[in-house]
Amino acid sequence: MADELMPGELRHLDRAELPAAAGALLDAGSRLALVACHEDDDHFRIVYSFVGAASLRADLVVTVPRDDAWIPSLAEISLPAGNFERGIRDLYGVVPRNHPQPHRLVRHGHWPRGWYPMLRANAIVPEFEPDVESFPFVPVEGPGVYEIAVGPIHAGIIEPGHFRFSVVGETIVRMEARQWYLHRGVEKVFEGKTAGEGVLLAEQISGDTAVGHSLAFVMAVEQAAGIEVSEPDRLLRALLLELERLYNHVTDLGSLANDVGFSIIDAHAQGLREQLLRINKSVTGHRLLRGALSVGGTRVNALPEAADLVRIAAAMAELAGITLGHAIVRGRFTGTARLSNAHATQIGTLGYVARASGIDTDARNEHPFVNLGEVFHVVTEDSGDVLARYTVRAREVEVSTAVAVDLLRRLQGHTGTAFSVNPTSAGTGLALVEAWRGTATHRVELAANGTLARVKVVDPSFLNWPAVPDALSETIVPDFPLANKSFNLSYAGNDL
């Protein structure tokens, strides 16, 4: 029976049993971390991975025949499930039956109909038609309502995304986002590669999350292959994660000030970012911290100086204090783009977006791969607005610096093990890593020869993007750049 399902169990179900089993896990406090479709020889296999506190995990597996390829939609009980299901239909052709939003998610209108790119038989890309099919935005009608279309091409170097605002005066009544303009087929590219080749690809899933994604990948491979990693190398991995968190948080704290016209703060913050990037280069040989992680080991060129990190964190704390001490800036931050705790929970948000709405969630606490000690604690705020998201990240700079300094003390000069292994047998692994935006999840299946048979990737942005339209309701249009930056979600991580 579904109510007897225990966390940590792998359970094969038929389609009729799935909704009750999934509902029982959700009611017990687990969250749906991912849904992965697998093309086996004569059927499709859909894996639903649920995770909870204390590293508990449960996988539900449903097998469907090719000539009757459908699954019961879980969208009514899980918003994340609804988007996972739409992606599976677009990429594999497996239909989520009774889905409340049956239109495309990944595939734009000019993608050839009946072509599902993750299928082995569809490896050759056909000719694409001109993009003439409109996306079904929900129209808002009423006195004084008008639409503003933004993107997908934006000023500067921002990635493509389309936002459709329905507005009365300056107030946003409804906003819908259309993404998936840069689909690269990353999960397909993983197939058939060795684990070592996969690390290089994982580092490039989302450029600013090179450590977060590559670490989740190597940990999933290590679990699948039964590879143990020494504690000093795991400490080093934790240090790299905090270095990645630091430079990204510092960057965005400056950019948020810039979005309300406080450009002098941004100039100083970007100077601190440059110092952190140069530290990164000295540590791994790459400004974005690539090249240090391998399956089974970790190796850096040098360790950073603790005093440098402390000095930069103190400078950032001073900038944050000046920023929040400015009445106009604080007024623009306060109450803007509020995401309530109830909505953040229902949407399934992660990372600082969730923590700013009062949700105490962090994979460093829930799914630790090393003990970070008493210097680590989860930072939360309750108001769910731009001010809360800014404050959480400013406080996380302090926490990450304290963690990094403590890790350096514990490492005692250890620069890692130059060790890399490619598995040679089949296996399955799942890893959750608290990247700087939130929990990054990778599920890996190895073929009989140890190569990558299937890699499912979930960037936290995939789960956080639906929160942006929610938070923008009743926000004024001029505050959209500020609100959007306070979330700062990845387009590339969302669209694989």
What amino acid is encoded at 487 in this protein?
A: F
Closest CA to 433 of 202, 231, 195, 251: 202
Per-residue model confidence (pLDDT) at position 31 = 94
Single pTM value for the model:
0.95
Apex CA 198: angle with CA 192 and CA 204, to 5°? 130
User: Does the bond joining 102 to the residue before it have cis omega, within 30 degrees of 0?
Assistant: no
First CA to last CA distance, the chain? 36
Q: Is the sign of the CA dihedral 47, 51, 55, 56 positive or negative? A: negative
- The per-residue pLDDT for 126 is 86
Q: pLDDT value at position 122?
A: 86
- Provide the residue type at 65 as one letter: P
pLDDT for 132: 65
Question: Can you give the pLDDT at residue 208?
Answer: 96
Q: Taking Cα atoms as reference points, which of 59, 19, 66 lies closest to residue 39?
A: 66
Using alpha carbons, list the distances in angstroms from residue 340 to 61, 240, 385, 472, 484.
Answer: 33, 32, 8, 12, 16
Q: Provide the pLDDT for residue 123.
A: 80
The predicted pLDDT at position 1 comes to 34
pLDDT at position 8: 56
* pLDDT confidence of residue 420: 82
Q: What is the spatial distance between Cα 448 and Cα 459, in angstroms, rounded to a whole number?
A: 27
Pure H helices in 52-185: 79-92
**What does the pLDDT read at residue 255?**
97
Domains of the chain: 2-122 (3.30.460.80), 194-457 (1.10.645.10)
Q: What is the pLDDT of residue 418?
A: 80
Separation of alpha carbons 326 and 264, rounded Å: 13
Below-50 pLDDT ranges, the chain: 1-7
